[in-house]
């Protein structure tokens, strides 16, 4: 579900972690990523990108999501948009995941969850009626000026990459 709140919006309801909303500056980050890369906000200036947070490498939902973004990567690149995936996994698990599925876009490691927290992608979630604290599957479309254009929280994997691609087509 997309967030349409503006920076002046009211506080999030109980159970929804704070984080960025559409119209705000994207929080700074710098993370080690697959393929010996480092991804950071400063390097992305001047180029729009998708930053998506996934709970754990090589699990069914995360694999489907990553493969869906991978299949759409040529279309994203055709729009001048990069894709970056972020999880709390350590880099060896991420490298293995990227290699296993031939994922060409960077998958970044956020083991201390600082970036996930800054974006509101870490907090309370409910799975099968059980509450826990963990990564909340979330996606952020960020413009070339480093501002959040669109936010998807509590993402359902099926059709998500296609929905992000459609939103990305609206960027100038």
- The set of catalytic residues is 62
CA 2-131-91 angle, to 5 degrees, is: 70
Angstrom distance (rounded) from CA 31 to CA 25: 18
Angstrom distance (rounded) from CA 66 to CA 169: 20
DSSP state of 157: S
CB atoms within 10 A of CB 80: 13
Which is it for strands 2-3 and 130-135: parallel, antiparallel or unpaired? unpaired
Q: Which helix (H) or strand (E) holds 151?
A: strand 148-152
CB atoms within 10 A of CB 33: 21
């Amino acid at each position: 579900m997309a967030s349409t709140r503006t920076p002046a919006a009211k506080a999030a309801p109980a159970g929804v972690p704070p984080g960025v909303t559409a119209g705000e500056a994207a929080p700074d980050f710098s993370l080690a990523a697959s393929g010996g890369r480092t991804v950071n906000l400063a390097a992305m200036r001047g180029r729009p990108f998708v930053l998506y947070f996934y709970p754990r490498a090589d699990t069914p939902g995360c694999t489907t999501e990553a493969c869906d973004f991978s299949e759409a990567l040529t279309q994203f690149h055709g729009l001048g948009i990069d894709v970056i995936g972020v999880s709390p996994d350590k880099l060896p698990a991420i490298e293995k995941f990227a290699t296993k599925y031939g994922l060409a876009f960077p998958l970044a490691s956020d083991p201390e969850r600082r970036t996930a927290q800054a974006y509101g992608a870490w907090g309370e979630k409910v799975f099968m009626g059980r509450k826990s604290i963990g990564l909340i599957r979330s996606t952020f479309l960020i413009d070339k000026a480093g501002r959040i254009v669109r936010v998807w929280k509590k993402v359902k994997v099926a059709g998500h990459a296609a929905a992000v691609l459609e939103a990305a087509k609206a960027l100038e």
